[in-house]
Chain A
Amino acid sequence: MARIEKEDLEAIAQLKKTSDKNWIRVGMSTCGLAAGSQAVYDALVSGVQERGLDIEVRKTGCVGLCSAEPLVEINVDGVPKTMYGHVNADSAEVLLDSHVMLKRVVKRLAVPEADQITTCVDSLKPPSGTDEFKQYKIVTRNCGVVDPDILEDYIGTGGYKGLRRCLCELKPEQVIDEIKKSGLRGRGGAGYPTGLKWELTRQAHGEDKYVICNGDEGDPGAYMDRSVLEGDPFSVIEGLTIAGYAIGAEQGFFYIRAEYPLAVTRIESAIRQAKQAGLLGKNILESDFTFNLEVRLGAGAFVCGEETALIASIEGKRGTPKPRPPYPSVQGLWNCPTCINNVETLSNVPPILSYGSKWFRNIGLGESTGTKVFALTGKIRKPGLVEIPMGTTLRDIIFGIGGGPLPGKTIKAVQTGGPSGGLIPVEHFDTPVTYEHLQIVGSMMGSGGMIALDEDDSIVDIVRFYLGFCVEESCGKCAPCRIGGTQMLQILERLSTGKGQPTDLEYLDRISRTMKSASLCGLGQSTPNTVLSSLRYFRNEYEEALDRARAAI
């Protein structure tokens, strides 16, 4: 590939637009592949050949409608663009014969939900008014749209415009200012203002500085980052490059879970292409800016999502956290100032720079600007990956986009924030999704797991499940987390097997409070969240468990 310079970006984007007439897209992320999209892709490719059709079959990432995988989207002149779901090798042929050749939409395979998705590339305004529960995509704007292995595809949807603006028009301080004005906050869960983090790292003294993309998505039941890394790797690379420029770092790292092999392959391939095109390396887009990227793999440790543990892991050590301060922004990787941002945070950066902070600020609610991606799963009709403007209510997400409970069932709660989050009962479903509101009801934004529970799910059992996870993942360095977690797990095990003791609930409460105030890192501090929120809202289920124990005596 030839080197891409400033002037070339526009030309490539134009060329992409004019050649973008007839295409078939097949969703080929991990989830699509698991549902059988490879066979569908093969059938489409050979079907197109047999019929001598002039239409391109493309591989894309995941559009998020996971319950309808494998997904195929077809755009042919003269027929409305249509998304098809549950496609197999046989129905793929039907799609070619009907949609492509006869120009007739195959209604029985169409997925109408696809029409409820707007991306920031389509429109700078999120849908509003009566369309309240419609999705608006900034982070996942290209997922399911571009071929993640083709750089020109990304440029075609406005990619690298943000970086060009930074390098040609803005000083690093102005980039930081733009991010600060946008109100972007860390999407890994804690919600720390991204611009401030960048500023602190820029101001810290140190010859070398580093930027790291945290792709160690450990929350069991969440896959936002996997989907973005697999479906739109260049967007994260561009975001990290901009972060590097703003902070004054020449070296960046991707830290990705080894359990996500496809994400690793796609990021590695994207880095190679960006290097060949001169979008990484020396003198990027004819500027003085030099930036390089490397990939490091996680190895199955939840605690490595914590900043200081992640740094230890990249340094090749056990991933145990360190007390903060000093914060990584002052003393991080190899004791140099280091800025760590989550995948989703970074993917927000290029659109903010190309469309402006004002645009971004107008989306969302209060201090929570922009959108949030959720992995909506559990006992609902339409599980999938959804992206909504901040401020959308839980009810709109679960009953609107998620399609509500399974037939004949009633949803009683939703769990957000994974092992560090909490349970929210149905009475609070009108809570708008923002960092602040979720905290008020006793949960947290977290990285984006959202799991609906219905009457068949025992709260005591779910809490035991999450505690079991946290206990196994505790690194063992500090006592409150190591001992407290185990103690609580023993109590929960007693309770769920009908052997609870009358003092158990009080103990749970006391241990929780100790862990929260005395643990070294976020893992131990947040482990009790699920316990405390369940005691607050579902005490009746604990008491029933205790009653069962009493009856058994």
Chain B
Amino acid sequence: MPEQSLTADVSLAVKKWQKKRGALVMVLHEIQDRHGYVPRSVALELAQQMRVPLARIYEVLTFYNYFVLEPPAKFVIAGCMGTACYLKGTPQVLDEFSRQLGIQLGETTPDGLFCLHTVRCVGCCGLAPVIMINGKAHSKVTPRDVANIIAKCKETEGGKDGAH
């Protein structure tokens, strides 16, 4: 990101929250919402603008599971690991994703298209197992659905490329 827009971007988030006490977590949420992750450059800029040590920002960033420090893939596949989903087969579905995409949990495919994660309970236990793809819940997924889901993601991506 060019430096000028980075500064402006960060100050927008800081401005919104600066008058509130305990703003740091909310500012980080704001930034992650916009970028999908919290880049190191942003953390540095944030330290300056909020006048807090960088260590304190990283202390908070790394404590919470929700914050991501690396850019996410185009399609973030996250298997729900709530108890109901676990019992009803999320691990098997994730194994199948892992096999077909050739990546382990927490990894991203070399083309940057897919990454594979687990997520804490998304609260759709009646529809277990649930797989989230870019935040959208897919219910009652079985290992047999995996090829289809991957193909559909690739299709939308291909469609996007065609439009450009």
Q: Are A30 and B122 closer than 8 Å at their CB atoms?
A: yes
Q: How far is the CB of A267 from chain B (nearest CB, A)?
A: 15
Q: How far is the CA of A236 from the CA of B136 in the complex (A)?
A: 26
Q: Are A451 and B22 closer than 8 Å at their CB atoms?
A: no
Q: Are A261 and B125 closer than 8 Å at their CB atoms?
A: no
Q: How far is the CA of A462 from the CA of B37 in the complex (A)?
A: 33
Indicate whether A318 sits within 8 Å of B59 (C-beta atoms), given known contacts A296-B25, A299-B65, A313-B25.
yes
Q: Are B23 and A451 closer than 8 Å at their CB atoms?
A: no
Residue B53 lies at the interface, judged by CB distance under 8 Å to chain A: no
Q: Are A377 and B64 closer than 8 Å at their CB atoms?
A: no
Instruction: Tell me which of B63, B120, B121, B126 contacts A66 (CB under 8 A).
Output: B126
Indicate whether A226 sits within 8 Å of B123 (C-beta atoms), given known contacts A221-B83, A258-B29, A465-B86.
yes
Q: Are A379 and B87 closer than 8 Å at their CB atoms?
A: yes
Instruction: Tell me which of B29, B83, B119, B135 contacts A465 (CB under 8 A).
Output: B83
Q: Are B66 and A34 closer than 8 Å at their CB atoms?
A: no
Q: Are A33 and B123 closer than 8 Å at their CB atoms?
A: no
Indicate whether A315 sits within 8 Å of B123 (C-beta atoms), given known contacts A259-B66, A300-B64.
no
Q: How far is the CA of A31 from the CA of B21 in the complex (A)?
A: 34
Q: Are B21 and A315 closer than 8 Å at their CB atoms?
A: yes
Q: How far is the CB of B36 from chain A (nearest CB, A)?
A: 13
Q: In A279-330, which residues have CB < 8 Å from any B CB?
A: 294, 296-302, 313-319
Q: Are A34 and B87 closer than 8 Å at their CB atoms?
A: no
Number of cross-chain contacts by CB at 8 Å: 135
Report the count of interface residues on A (CB-CB < 8 A).
54
Binary CB contact string for chain B from 28 to 72 against chain A (1 if under 8 A, 0 otherwise): 110000000000000000000000000000011001111100000
Q: How far is the CA of A451 from the CA of B135 in the complex (A)?
A: 25
Indicate whether A31 sits within 8 Å of B24 (C-beta atoms), given known contacts A258-B66, A378-B87.
no
Q: In A221-256, which residues have CB < 8 Å from any B CB?
A: 221-223, 226-227
Q: Are B123 and A377 closer than 8 Å at their CB atoms?
A: no
Q: How far is the CB of B66 from chain A (nearest CB, A)?
A: 4
Q: Are A453 and B87 closer than 8 Å at their CB atoms?
A: yes
Q: In B73-117, which residues have CB < 8 Å from any A CB?
A: 81-84, 86-87
Please give, as numbers and ranges, the residues of chain B lying within 8 Å of A377 by CB-CB distance.
Answer: 83-84, 125-126, 128
Q: Which partner residue on chain A sits nearest B126 by CB separation?
A: A66
Q: How far is the CA of A315 from the CA of B20 in the complex (A)?
A: 10
Q: How far is the CA of A317 from the CA of B60 in the complex (A)?
A: 6
Q: Which partner residue on chain A sits nearest B52 by CB separation?
A: A316
Please give, as numbers and ranges, the residues of chain A lying within 8 Å of B14 by CB-CB distance.
Answer: none
Indicate whether A318 sits within 8 Å of B63 (C-beta atoms), given known contacts A217-B123, A218-B120, A449-B83.
yes
Name which of B20, B59, B120, B125 has the most chain A CB atoms within 10 A of its CB: B125
Report the count of interface residues on B (CB-CB < 8 A).
38
Q: How far is the CB of B119 from chain A (nearest CB, A)?
A: 7
Q: Are A314 and B82 closer than 8 Å at their CB atoms?
A: no
Q: How far is the CA of A466 from the CA of B87 in the complex (A)?
A: 12
Q: How far is the CB of A308 from chain B (nearest CB, A)?
A: 14
Q: Are B64 and A457 closer than 8 Å at their CB atoms?
A: no
Indicate whether A34 sits within 8 Å of B121 (C-beta atoms), given known contacts A220-B81, A334-B21.
no
Residue B149 lies at the interface, judged by CB distance under 8 Å to chain A: no
Q: Are A297 and B29 closer than 8 Å at their CB atoms?
A: yes
Residue A214 lies at the interface, judged by CB distance under 8 Å to chain B: no
Q: Are B84 and A299 closer than 8 Å at their CB atoms?
A: no
Please give, as numbers and ranges, the residues of chain B lying within 8 Å of A457 by CB-CB distance.
Answer: 87
Please give, as numbers and ranges, the residues of chain A lying within 8 Å of B59 by CB-CB distance.
Answer: 318
Q: How far is the CB of A188 from chain B (nearest CB, A)?
A: 16
Q: In A367-398, which residues have CB < 8 Å from any B CB?
A: 375, 377-379, 383-385
Q: In A451-468, which residues have CB < 8 Å from any B CB?
A: 451, 453, 457, 462, 465-466
Q: How far is the CA of A449 from the CA of B126 in the complex (A)?
A: 12
Q: Are B126 and A31 closer than 8 Å at their CB atoms?
A: yes
Q: Are A319 and B121 closer than 8 Å at their CB atoms?
A: no
Q: How far is the CA of A351 from the CA of B122 in the complex (A)?
A: 29
Please give, as numbers and ranges, the residues of chain B lying within 8 Å of A466 by CB-CB distance.
Answer: 83
Binary CB contact string for chain B from 116 to 147 against chain A (1 if under 8 A, 0 otherwise): 00011111111110100001111100000000
Q: How far is the CB of A189 from chain B (nearest CB, A)?
A: 15
Indicate whether A300 sits within 8 Å of B60 (C-beta atoms), given known contacts A219-B121, A222-B121.
no
Binary CB contact string for chain A from 408 to 420 against chain B (1 if under 8 A, 0 otherwise): 0000000100100
Residue A133 lies at the interface, judged by CB distance under 8 Å to chain B: no
Residue B12 lies at the interface, judged by CB distance under 8 Å to chain A: no
Q: How far is the CA of A378 from the CA of B125 in the complex (A)?
A: 8
Please give, as numbers and ranges, the residues of chain B lying within 8 Å of A69 by CB-CB distance.
Answer: 126-127
Name which of B67, B82, B87, B123 has the most chain A CB atoms within 10 A of its CB: B123
Q: How far is the CA of A263 from the CA of B20 in the complex (A)?
A: 22
Q: How far is the CA of A412 from the CA of B61 in the complex (A)?
A: 42
Indicate whether A375 sits within 8 Å of B25 (C-beta atoms), given known contacts A34-B137, A300-B66.
no
Please give, as numbers and ranges, the residues of chain A lying within 8 Å of B67 by CB-CB distance.
Answer: 299-300
Q: Are B23 and A316 closer than 8 Å at their CB atoms?
A: yes
Residue A35 lies at the interface, judged by CB distance under 8 Å to chain B: yes
Binary CB contact string for chain A from 23 to 34 against chain B (1 if under 8 A, 0 otherwise): 000000011011
Please give, as numbers and ranges, the residues of chain A lying within 8 Å of B82 by CB-CB distance.
Answer: 220-221
14 additional contacts, CB 8 Å, given A221-B84, A296-B22? Answer: A30-B122, A34-B136, A34-B137, A218-B120, A220-B82, A220-B86, A227-B123, A299-B66, A300-B67, A301-B63, A316-B24, A377-B83, A377-B125, A462-B87
18 contacts between A and B (CB under 8 A): A220-B120, A221-B125, A222-B125, A227-B123, A259-B119, A260-B123, A297-B29, A300-B65, A314-B25, A317-B60, A318-B59, A375-B123, A377-B84, A377-B126, A378-B87, A379-B87, A384-B126, A451-B84
7 nearest A-B residue pairs (beta carbon):
A66-B126, A223-B123, A221-B83, A300-B65, A299-B64, A34-B137, A300-B66
Give chain A's interface residues, CB within 8 Å of chain B.
30-31, 33-35, 66-67, 69, 217-223, 226-227, 258-261, 294, 296-302, 313-319, 334, 375, 377-379, 383-385, 415, 418, 449, 451, 453, 457, 462, 465-466, 475
